């Protein structure tokens, strides 16, 4: 490896996320200004595996701050250390890291910037074992990446979820219904917690606090009895009843992360109606939370993360993940982060605030 970084590759792994293009813009422009060449890797690790890459210029990243998604494309179906390929009617995992390193060398890439969540960072740690020089940038609407207080994309998702919860208030009150809104988040409840709190949801169900259907039903009946003839429930897709299991919508054997959570909103609404007699409806907000224009907060955070990633490249501080902790941008060892999930502490300040202001976690 040369002493000076001359040519870098950049990929966006996992699902799409508001703010990805702002990171791409910040890294590309900072790197070009610093005398580096920038190569965009298409569709995350899949582009590395299939050697699909293209150069990025200043104009390629113009007008990107307001655009959602990623101009490079993304994939959550490619892990270089366990790349799933169909063989004899089943999926077989193959280690293609050596092939990927040949592509990196062929493209003359001195280092990679890997933008993604926990699965992407686990893949980065595995590529580092083959000598790949990597700097990571955390991305996920779920805010579940260990080691950083916030990830870009989360603020936009919370904003969208909050607006959705705000909007169901009117139809819930008009028809005197219980409205259950299922939100994303996988195994962490940050979106449901923050959006539920911001919208004043009456009940917030998150994976970290198993709920009791008796308690949920009791709260709905209390509101009906004392004059509030509707109830708003925000439920994270990974929430589960005490002693029960998370609901799995389907299993995708072609994906490195095959479990697809879903269905808890309908489950909760059905149980509430059966136990209380109150008319209940379920809404699944779904991928709406991941789309559209990023908020100003996410654009600023993405730009700061992208620029610090460039600084780490300049300093040849590889194997680092850009993070924000206690309001300051810094970095951590990717290996310390890979494979870990940041969940909501049950004594989190916001959890305590929600309880104190009258909302219930169903426990």
Q: Which helix (H) or strand (E) holds 44?
A: none
Is there a single domain that holds both residue 205 and residue 220?
A: yes
Is there a single domain that holds both residue 299 and residue 285?
A: no
Tell me whether residue 350 is in a domain: no
**Residues 6 or more apart in contact with residue 208 via CB below 8 angstroms:** 188, 189, 343, 344, 345, 346
What is the end-to-end Cα distance of the chain in Å, rounded?
A: 56
Angle at 164 between CA 177 and CA 191, to 5 degrees: 110
Q: What is residue 324's three-state secondary structure?
A: strand
Is there a single domain that holds both residue 221 and residue 308?
A: no
Tally of domains in the chain: 2
CB atoms within 10 A of CB 116: 27
* Domain range for 271: 155-291
Q: What pLDDT was estimated at residue 90? A: 87
Residues forming a β-bridge with 281: 179
Tell me whether residue 309 is in a domain: yes
Is the CB of residue 39 less than 8 Å from the CB of residue 109? yes
Tell me whether residue 173 is in a domain: yes
142 given a catalytic annotation: yes
Is there a single domain that holds both residue 128 and residue 198?
A: no
Is there a single domain that holds both residue 50 and residue 86?
A: yes
Using the 3D structure, point to which of 291, 325, 351 is the last residue of a domain. Answer: 291
Using the 3D structure, point to which of 231, 264, 291 is the last residue of a domain. Answer: 291
Is there a single domain that holds both residue 283 and residue 161?
A: yes
Q: What pLDDT was estimated at residue 272? A: 96
Is there a single domain that holds both residue 236 and residue 314?
A: no
Tell me whether residue 363 is in a domain: no
Handedness of CA 331, 332, 333, 334 (dihedral sign): negative
Is there a single domain that holds both residue 160 and residue 287?
A: yes
Is there a single domain that holds both residue 218 and residue 238?
A: yes
Tell me whether residue 174 is in a domain: yes
Q: What is residue 54's three-state secondary structure?
A: strand
Using the 3D structure, point to which of 291, 306, 323 is the last residue of a domain. Answer: 291
The DSSP string of 170-198 is HHHHHHT-EEEEEE--TT--HHHHHHHHH
| Regions of the chain where pLDDT drops below 70 | 1-3, 256
Is there a single domain that holds both residue 261 and residue 124?
A: no
Q: What is residue 1's three-state secondary structure?
A: coil
User: How many Å apart are CA 48 and CA 127, to the nearest integer?
Assistant: 11
Is there a single domain that holds both residue 58 and residue 147?
A: yes
Looking from the CA of 89 toward its CB, the CA atoms found within 13 Å total 0
User: How many Å apart are CA 171 and CA 165, to the nearest integer?
Assistant: 11
Tell me whether residue 355 is in a domain: no
Active-site entry in 142, 144, 202, 298: 142
Of the candidates 197, 156, 175, the one whose C-alpha atom is nearest the C-alpha of residue 285 is 156
Q: Report the CATH number at residue 322.
A: 3.40.50.450
Is there a single domain that holds both residue 142 and residue 247?
A: no
State the burial class of residue 50 (Cβ atoms within 10 Å of its Cβ: 0-12, 13-18, 19+). middle
The DSSP string of 262-286 is --HHHHHHHHHHHHH---EEEEE-G
Q: Supply the pTM of this predicted model.
A: 0.93
Q: What pLDDT was estimated at residue 361? A: 98
Q: Which helix (H) or strand (E) holds 235?
A: strand 231-236
Angle at 253 between CA 259 and CA 153, to 5 degrees: 45
Tell me whether residue 15 is in a domain: yes
Tell me whether residue 11 is in a domain: yes
Q: Report the CATH number at residue 194.
A: 3.40.50.460
Alpha helices in 107-227 (DSSP H): 118-128, 154-175, 190-199, 213-225
């Amino acid at each position: 490896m040369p002493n000076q970084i001359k040519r870098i590759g950049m990929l966006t792994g996992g699902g799409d996320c508001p703010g990805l293009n702002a990171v791409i813009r910040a890294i590309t422009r900072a790197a070009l200004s610093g005398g580096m060449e920038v190569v965009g890797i298409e569709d995350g690790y899949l582009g590395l595996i299939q050697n699909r890459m293209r150069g990025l210029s200043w104009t390629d990243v113009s007008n990107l701050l307001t655009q959602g998604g990623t101009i490079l494309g993304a994939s959550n179906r490619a892990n270089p250390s366990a790349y799933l390929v169909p063989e004899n009617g089943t999926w077989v995992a193959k280690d293609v890291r050596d092939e990927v390193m040949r592509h990196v060398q062929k493209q003359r890439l001195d280092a990679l910037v890997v933008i993604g969540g926990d699965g992407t960072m686990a893949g980065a740690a595995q590529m580092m074992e083959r000598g790949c020089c990597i700097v990571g940038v955390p991305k996920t609407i779920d805010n579940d990446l260990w080691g950083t207080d916030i990830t870009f994309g989360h603020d936009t998702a919370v904003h969208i979820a909050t607006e959705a919860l705000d909007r169901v208030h009117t139809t819930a009150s008009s028809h005197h219904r219980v409205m259950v809104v299922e939100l994303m988040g996988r195994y962490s409840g940050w979106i449901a917690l923050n959006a539920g709190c911001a919208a004043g949801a009456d009940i917030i169900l998150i994976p970290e606090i198993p709920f009791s259907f008796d308690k949920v039903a009791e709260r709905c009946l209390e509101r009906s009895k004392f004059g509030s003839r509707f109830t708003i429930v925000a439920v994270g897709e990974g929430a589960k009843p005490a002693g029960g299991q998370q609901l799995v919508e389907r299993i995708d054997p072609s994906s490195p992360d095959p479990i697809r959570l879903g269905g808890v909103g309908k489950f909760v609404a059905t149980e509430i109606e059966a136990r209380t007699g109150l008319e209940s409806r379920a809404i699944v907000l779904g991928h709406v939370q991941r789309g559209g224009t990023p908020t100003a907060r996410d654009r600023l955070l993405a730009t700061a993360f992208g620029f610090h990633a460039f600084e780490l490249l300049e300093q040849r501080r590889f194997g680092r993940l850009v993070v924000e902790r206690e309001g300051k941008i810094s970095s951590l060892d990717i290996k310390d982060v890979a494979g870990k999930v940041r969940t909501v502490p049950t004594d989190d300040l916001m959890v305590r605030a929600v309880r104190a202001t009258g909302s219930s976690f169903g426990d």
